[in-house]
């Protein structure tokens, strides 16, 4: 049975509901923007000045150029609406298409924020808050829904496996490495996670993603799971001994989900029991 064959998780149900709401918003917004788009700025400027004291936004012109951009904007809304419809119809199959919407909303939010900071026009603030909220909500709901019933999504699994290889490379003091028992360890890690509350599972997922992106934040220009093995070991050890408590906490938590599954069988596997002291 594949993940798509099983019932949707509550997180997927919530994400699907949001997609249906998005479809509704685009269906409603599309004709309104086409017909009344030019009045938006005028409406915002008409808000009581005592309520919001920001410079007014210049009303849209009436030339053909405005119509050109208006049609382009409406067509983008149409694309996003159809995309949301596809996702709502089959979350597991088309869910990753949400990245297109996230990308569009990220660009628009950043642009609106920059424009607002440059001009303090109310319309840009409203646009930034609207698109920013849609971006945050869509990303949050997708983040919770994306692993479906597997608890970790493919990216997070890759990071966990990379951390496993970091702790237990092949050979050395005993032959078995994480890669040799990856399937069993991953199944045990998932089993372990199953018992945790959704909030704790979310925390672990965020930690895995953070670990993967941390080297980029430190200007190493590659993610944790793509680093060469030796570099990864050194990086992990540095984090483990960091003076910044949350970084230590992250390595400690991730280590739990690797080491406990690795040694979990009541009778340890031959490759793991090799014991130099015996």
Partner 1 sequence: MKTYTSRVVVVGTGAGGAVAAALLAQAGHEVLVLEQGRRYEPEDHADVISSFTRMYVNGGATIALGNPPIPIPLGCGVGGSTLINSSTCFRPPREKVEHWDCVDWELFEKSLVAVEKRIHAVPVDESLLGGNYTVLKRGCDALGVTIKPLVHNLDGCQKSGRCAFGCPTGAKQSTDRTFIPDALAAGAQLLTEHKVTGVLQEDDKIAGVTGLCPSGTFEARGDIIVLAMGALATPAFLLRHRLANSSGQVGRGLRIHPASRVAAEFDEVVDGDRGLPQGAYIDQWRDRGIMLEGISLPPGPLLSGLPGAGYAFKSLAAQRRNIATFGVMVSDTGAGHVRRGYLGAPFTAFYQLTQTDAEALRYGMARLGELYFAAGAKRLFTNVAPMPVVQSQSELQRFEQMPVKPGSFEVMAFHPTGTCSMSVQANKGVVNSFLRTYDLKNLYIMDGSVIPDALGVNPQLTIMGLAHHATTLLLERL
- Residues at the interface with partner 1 (CB under 8 A): 166-169, 172-174, 188, 191-200, 229-230, 233, 236-237, 240-243, 245, 248-249, 252, 255-256, 258-266, 268, 274-278
- The nearest distance, CB 221 to partner 1, in angstroms, is 22
Q: Which two tokens stand for residue 25?
A: 């918003």
Query: Which CB, 65 or 240, lies closer to partner 1?
Result: 240
- The nearest distance, CB 181 to partner 1, in angstroms, is 13
- The nearest distance, CB 265 to partner 1, in angstroms, is 7
Query: Which CB, 38 or 248, lies closer to partner 1?
Result: 248
- The nearest distance, CB 58 to partner 1, in angstroms, is 45
Positive/negative CA dihedral, 166, 171, 176, 179: positive
- The nearest distance, CB 168 to partner 1, in angstroms, is 6
Query: Which CB, 5 or 275, lies closer to partner 1?
Result: 275
Query: Which CB, 156 or 188, lies closer to partner 1?
Result: 188
Query: Which CB, 81 or 215, lies closer to partner 1?
Result: 215
Query: Which CB, 131 or 165, lies closer to partner 1?
Result: 165
- The nearest distance, CB 206 to partner 1, in angstroms, is 14
3-class DSSP string for the chain = CCHHHCCCCHHHHHHHHHHHHHHHHHHHHHHHHHHHCCHHHHHHHCCCCCCCCCCCCCCCCCCHHHHHHHHHHHHHHHHHHHHHHHHHHCHHHHHHHHHHHHHHHHHHHHHHHHHHHHHCCHHHHHHHHHHHHHHHHHHHHHHHHCCHHHCCCHHHHHHHHHHHHHHCCCCCCCCCCHHHHHHHHHHHHHHHHHCCCHHHHHHHHHHHHHHHHHHHHCCCCCCHHHCCHHHHHHHHHHHHCCCCHHHHHHHHHHHHHHHHHHCCCCCCCHHHHCCCCC
Query: Which CB, 49 or 222, lies closer to partner 1?
Result: 222
Among residues 104, 156, 165, which one has the least CA distance to residue 135? Answer: 104
- The nearest distance, CB 88 to partner 1, in angstroms, is 25
């Amino acid at each position: 049975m594949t993940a798509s064959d099983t019932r949707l998780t509550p997180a997927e149900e919530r994400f699907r509901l949001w997609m249906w709401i998005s479809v509704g918003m685009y269906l409603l917004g599309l004709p309104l923007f086409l017909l009344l788009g030019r009045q938006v700025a005028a409406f915002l400027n008409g808000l009581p000045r005592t309520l919001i004291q920001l410079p007014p936004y210049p009303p849209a012109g009436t030339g053909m150029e405005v119509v050109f951009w208006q049609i382009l904007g409406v067509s983008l809304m149409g694309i996003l609406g159809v995309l949301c419809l596809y996702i709502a119809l089959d979350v597991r199959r088309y869910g990753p298409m949400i990245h297109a919407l996230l990308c569009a909303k990220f660009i628009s939010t950043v642009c609106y924020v920059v424009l607002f900071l440059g001009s303090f026009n109310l319309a840009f603030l409203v646009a930034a808050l609207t698109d920013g909220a849609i971006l945050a909500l869509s990303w949050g709901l997708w983040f919770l829904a994306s692993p479906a019933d597997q608890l970790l999504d493919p990216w997070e699994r890759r990071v966990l496996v990379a951390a496993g290889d970091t702790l237990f490379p092949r050979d050395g003091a005993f032959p078995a490495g994480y890669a040799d028992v990856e399937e069993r360890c991953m199944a045990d890690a998932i089993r372990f996670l199953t018992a945790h509350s959704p909030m704790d599972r979310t925390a672990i997922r965020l930690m895995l993603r953070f670990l993967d992106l941390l080297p980029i934040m430190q200007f190493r220009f590659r993610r944790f799971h793509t680093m060469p093995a030796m570099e990864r070991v050194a990086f992990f050890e540095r984090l483990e001994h960091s003076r910044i408590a949350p970084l230590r906490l992250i390595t400690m938590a991730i280590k739990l989900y690797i080491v406990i599954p690795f040694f979990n069988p009541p009778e340890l596997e031959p490759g793991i029991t090799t014991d130099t002291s015996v």
